């Protein structure tokens, strides 16, 4: 009889299990999902209770065969896929393909890949969780219905290749709405007045004007500021009050997934995707010696701040030994969870506190060590005593005005000796930047050294960075932390947003698609609906509601909106979005934003009677500004065959072409399609194994691109001109040259996830 089989998700986990279990069990890996909905059709039987038609993924047929071979005639199969909804779906699909008369299936959940956790899970196997699987199926069904029924609509109305998603479209909408807020922002002037003061004892210090006659004061302009300065002229400054307060600052709980992503983005400059990839490696097992893999952290996809009592006590023992009893809590500190449905496993923590970052440094890569150090320090700090901060605030009276000055000192550093979050570090830096306050008594007269008025302007809301967008999604209950990395990648890859100075900015395509979707599906891509769906999934998992009820309620409204959108959504290939701009050619039609093969452009609404077209951009207020092709033209060293004037590279709605600079008197044009190998641009091919040169070529539609002259031996190609300079930010082997109307020419990293951009280049 075959040995019992344990099925996990990855080959790395197989190696880790083999270390602890030896040859007691047969081991096999699914390498992720083995079943999914079909790629080329909806795969949902809507009229049959939304039944999903799961099929074996074609690329996984050999994996399925290996699983069946590994199972043999084993009577028991233990399925140890990840302890989340996706892992539960893998467990059910594995049981389906290995189903056999008399065979028993068991579910085992590893919160960490350590010997203790593994043997504990095997000693108390569970049943497969039907409710958790129903929650995953419901999520998959809703996402498939949205994606596979709205995306074809966008193909017809806008352009092929676009996609919509229950979560990704909301994320793009959030970015677009922030950009609109920035564009609509009108800065407001305000002033501050600071008094430079000195007492009998040093040091001198600064105090800011705060109140007039006991009420908070706002200074709107220079004349108001000058009136206050005049009122203060010759007035004595007296210390009215000293307020002292000691603040206890508590440590943060151990990481949940979203908080780990945010801290890694800020502190380590990782992307959300990179953070999750490295965390996965630390979870599945790292070799701490030849053939000795060990899981170093607990499961990295979690919304829970719960920690095991055993782990907390181990941390307290470590703190007592390394920092002393003054730094250790008297008993373990536990943290409350906001959502009980997502409390299936612990917060992210080290599996063994005694595996210090210093001890593991020889076995980890630079990035693995950096992330492990973040996780280890945050967890250990969570069991340390609070910091104690002494705050002192001085209130100084002059005439009818009150000035205030604040300072702080650390009485006891507590957990801050080991770890401070980005927010805590920023707050502490602000406190430390304040001037040290002298020891003076209430009622003491102060010497006025100088009164400093200063003009300020309010600032627009900032664009979202990866970290702040993850925080926004989390706070609004949109998606799950385990999906954030994929969402951020998708919205960039689809061309809906771009990274500018490490912040998200919507592209014109992102604006257009969002406007169309909001008009046709206002509820579906609203924050409330998306967050409500996540809550419903939690309720399905905890058996509080039936999945059919959720699906029926969702689809009834969605089908109505979908039918209406098919008839009423504006066609960007035809009518387009009307602007306030009048056509400069016919003077009667308005310009409409349309989308062609090469992206958005402006066209006259009187087409075909008027054939005016133009590229366009948006100014800082978001208004559309037309750019005639001749204004965008780039000079060449070629002359027109008809009139002899220089030819120019011009852009139109159907791509790039050569046109005479004498237009409209001479209307001669020529395609940029190359018949040879193209023109060299003086850059070696970036491929490390290629000795070719980059040449400028033209696509069949006349658009210039850059490719290797060794094609087809080397298939390197880029729409942007490569530059033989490595990226100073991420180390990518080359940069590319870009040009925009607003910034001019600049270099950018070829790795889209990096986001590096140089300063504008001199022409």
pLDDT, one tens digit per residue, over 336-366 is 876 554 556 789 999 999 999 999 999 999 9
Rg of the chain on CA atoms, in Å: 32
> Is residue 650 predicted with pLDDT exceeding 60?
yes
* d(C-alpha 145, C-alpha 460), whole Å: 38
Q: Do 496 and 412 share a domain, yes or no?
A: no
Residue 133 located in a structural domain: no
Q: Do 404 and 347 share a domain, yes or no?
A: no
* d(C-alpha 363, C-alpha 721), whole Å: 40
CB 416 within 8 A of CB 377: no
pLDDT on residue 343: 53
Number of domains in the chain: 7
As given in the structure block, the two tokens for residue 110 are: 């590893």
As given in the structure block, the two tokens for residue 44 are: 């949902």
Q: Do 500 and 451 share a domain, yes or no?
A: no
pLDDT digits (tens, 9 = 90+) for 245-259: 999 999 999 999 999
Q: Do 120 and 226 share a domain, yes or no?
A: no
Residue 702 located in a structural domain: yes
Q: Do 57 and 85 share a domain, yes or no?
A: yes
Select from 85, 101, 128 the last residue of a domain. Answer: 128
Pairing of strands 76-79, 5-8: parallel
Select from 541, 567, 593 the last residue of a domain. Answer: 567
Select from 348, 381, 414 the last residue of a domain. Answer: 381
697 — pLDDT class (breaks 50, 70, 90):
confident
pLDDT digits (tens, 9 = 90+) for 439-456: 899 999 999 999 999 999
Q: If you count DSSP H runs as helices and E runs as strands, how many of each does the chain have, helices first?
A: 19, 35
> Is residue 12 predicted with pLDDT exceeding 90?
no
Helix 527-541 and helix 130-157, axial crossing angle in degrees, nearest 10: 150
> Is residue 629 predicted with pLDDT exceeding 50?
no
Backbone angles phi, psi at 201, to 5 degrees: -110, 145
Q: What are the catalytic residues? A: 299
432 — pLDDT class (breaks 50, 70, 90):
low
Q: Do 294 and 353 share a domain, yes or no?
A: yes
Q: Do 367 and 286 share a domain, yes or no?
A: yes
CB 662 within 8 A of CB 640: yes
Average pLDDT in the 591-601 region? 89
Q: Do 54 and 118 share a domain, yes or no?
A: yes
Average pLDDT in the 636-649 region? 78
> Is residue 635 predicted with pLDDT exceeding 70?
no
Residue 572 located in a structural domain: no
Residue 687 located in a structural domain: yes
- CATH for 418: 2.70.20.10
- For the whole model, what pTM was predicted? 0.77
> Is residue 754 predicted with pLDDT exceeding 90?
no
- Residue 263 contacts by C-beta under 8 Å, 6 or more apart in sequence? 255, 374, 378, 421, 422
Residue 22: left if φ>0, alpha if ψ -120 to 50, beta else—which one?
A: left
149 — pLDDT class (breaks 50, 70, 90):
very high
Residue 595 located in a structural domain: yes
- Answer with the residue of higher pLDDT: 705 or 674: 705
Instruction: Supply the DSSP string of 112-176, one letter for each residue.
Output: S-SHHHHHHHHHS-B---HHHHHHHHHHHHHHHHHHHHHHHHHHHHT-TT----TTHHHHHHHHH
Residue 754 located in a structural domain: no
Average pLDDT in the 720-743 region? 78
As given in the structure block, the two tokens for residue 438 are: 């002298």
CB 497 within 8 A of CB 464: no
Pairing of strands 189-198, 624-627: unpaired
Q: Do 393 and 376 share a domain, yes or no?
A: no
Residue 762 located in a structural domain: no
Residue 559 located in a structural domain: yes
As given in the structure block, the two tokens for residue 15 are: 């190696």
Q: Do 211 and 356 share a domain, yes or no?
A: no
> Is residue 699 predicted with pLDDT exceeding 80?
no
- CATH for 115: 3.40.50.140
Average pLDDT in the 302-323 region? 92
As given in the structure block, the two tokens for residue 389 are: 């901060």
> Is residue 294 predicted with pLDDT exceeding 90?
no
* CA 24 from centroid of its chain's CA atoms: 43
Find where tokens 């003009």 sit.
Answer: 455
Q: Do 444 and 398 share a domain, yes or no?
A: yes
pLDDT digits (tens, 9 = 90+) for 39-78: 889 999 999 999 999 999 999 999 999 999 999 999 999 9
As given in the structure block, the two tokens for residue 354 are: 């005694």
pLDDT on residue 675: 38
Q: Do 442 and 590 share a domain, yes or no?
A: no
| Full domain range(s) for residue 705 | 679-749
Closest listed residue to residue 473, CA positions, set 514, 424, 431, 530: 530
* d(C-alpha 628, C-alpha 583), whole Å: 12
> Is residue 731 predicted with pLDDT exceeding 80?
no
Average pLDDT in the 291-312 region? 88
* d(C-alpha 203, C-alpha 365), whole Å: 48
* d(C-alpha 735, C-alpha 251), whole Å: 42
Q: Maximum distance among all alpha carbons in the chain? A: 100
CB 152 within 8 A of CB 144: no
As given in the structure block, the two tokens for residue 288 are: 């701490």
């Amino acid at each position: 009889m075959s040995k019992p089989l344990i099925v996990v998700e990855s080959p790395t986990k197989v190696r880790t299990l083999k270390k602890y279990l030896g040859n007691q069990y047969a081991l096999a890996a699914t390498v992720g999902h083995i079943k999914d909905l079909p790629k080329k059709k909806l795969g949902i039987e809507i009229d049959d209770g939304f039944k999903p038609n799961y099929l074996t993924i074609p690329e996984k047929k050999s994996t399925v065969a290996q699983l069946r071979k590994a199972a043999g005639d084993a009577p028991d199969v233990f399925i140890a896929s990840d302890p989340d909804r996706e892992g539960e779906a893998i467990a059910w699909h594995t049981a389906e393909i290995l189903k056999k008369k008399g065979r028993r299936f068991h579910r085992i959940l590893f919160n960490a890949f350590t010997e203790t956790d593994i043997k504990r899970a095997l000693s108390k196997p569970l049943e497969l969780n039907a409710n958790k699987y129903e929650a995953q199926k419901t999520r998959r069904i809703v996402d498939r219905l949205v994606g596979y029924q709205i995306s074809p609509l966008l193909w017809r109305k806008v352009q092929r290749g676009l996609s919509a998603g229950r979560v990704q479209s909301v994320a793009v909408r959030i970015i677009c709405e922030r950009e609109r807020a920035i564009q609509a922002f009108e800065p407001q002037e305000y002033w501050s007045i600071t008094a430079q003061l000195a007492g009998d004892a040093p040091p001198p210090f600064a105090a800011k004007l705060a109140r007039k006659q006991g009420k908070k004061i706002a200074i709107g302009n220079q004349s108001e500021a000058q009136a206050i300065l005049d009122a203060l002229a010759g007035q004595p400054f007296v210390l009215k009050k000293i307020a002292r307060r000691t603040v206890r600052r508590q440590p943060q709980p151990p990481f949940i997934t979203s908080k780990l992503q945010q801290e890694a983005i800020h502190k380590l400059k990782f992307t959300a995707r990179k953070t999750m990839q490295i965390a996965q490696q630390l979870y599945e097992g790292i070799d701490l010696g030849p053939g000795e893999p060990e899981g170093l952290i607990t499961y990295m996809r979690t919304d829970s701040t719960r920690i095991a009592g055993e782990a907390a006590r181990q941390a307290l023992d470590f703190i007592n030994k390394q920092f002393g009893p003054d730094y250790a809590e008297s008993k373990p500190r536990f943290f409350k969870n906001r959502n009980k449905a997502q409390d299936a496993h612990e917060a992210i923590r080290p599996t063994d506190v005694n595996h210090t970052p210093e001890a593991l440094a020889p076995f980890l890569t630079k990035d693995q060590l950096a992330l492990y150090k973040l996780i280890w320090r945050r967890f250990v700090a969570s069991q340390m005593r609070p910091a104690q901060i002494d705050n002192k605030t001085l209130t100084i009276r002059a005439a009818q005005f009150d000035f205030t000055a604040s300072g702080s000192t650390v009485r006891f550093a507590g957990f801050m000796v080991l770890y401070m979050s980005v927010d805590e570090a920023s707050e502490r830096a602000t406190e430390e930047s304040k001037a040290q306050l002298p020891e003076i008594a209430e009622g003491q007269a102060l010497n006025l050294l100088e009164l400093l008025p200063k003009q300020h302007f309010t600032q627009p809301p900032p664009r979202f960075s990866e970290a702040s967008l993850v925080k926004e999604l989390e706070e609004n209950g949109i998606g799950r932390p385990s999906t954030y990395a994929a969402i951020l990648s998708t919205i960039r890859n689809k061309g809906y947003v771009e990274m500018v100075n490490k912040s998200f900015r919507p592209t014109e395509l992102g604006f257009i698609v969002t406007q169309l979707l909001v008009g046709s599906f206002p509820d579906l891509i609203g924050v409330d609906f998306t967050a409500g769906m996540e809550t419903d999934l939690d309720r399905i998992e905890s058996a509080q509601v039936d999945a059919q009820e959720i699906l029926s309620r969702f689809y009834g409204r969605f089908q109505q909106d979908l039918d209406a959108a098919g008839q009423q959504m504006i066609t960007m290939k035809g009518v387009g979005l009307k602007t306030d701009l009048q056509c400069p050619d016919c003077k009667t039609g308005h310009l409409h934003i349309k989308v062609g093969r090469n992206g958005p452009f402006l066209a006259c609404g009187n087409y075909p009677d008027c054939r005016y077209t133009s590229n366009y951009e948006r100014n800082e207020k978001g208004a559309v500004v037309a750019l005639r092709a001749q204004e965008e033209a780039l000079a060449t060293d070629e002359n027109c065959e008809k009139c002899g004037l220089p030819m120019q590279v011009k852009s139109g709605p159907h791509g790039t072409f050569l046109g005479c600079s004498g237009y409209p008197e001479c209307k001669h044009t020529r395609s940029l399609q190359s018949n040879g190998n193209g023109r060299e641009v003086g850059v070696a091919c970036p491929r490390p194994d290629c000795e070719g040169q980059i040449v400028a070529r033209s696509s069949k539609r006349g658009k210039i691109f850059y490719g290797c002259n060794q094609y087809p031996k080397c298939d390197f190609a880029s729409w942007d001109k490569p530059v033989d300079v490595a990226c100073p930010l991420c180390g990518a082997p080359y940069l590319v040259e870009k040009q925009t109307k607003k910034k001019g020419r600049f270099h950018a990293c070829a790795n889209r996830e990096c986001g590096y951009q140089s300063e504008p280049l001199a022409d």
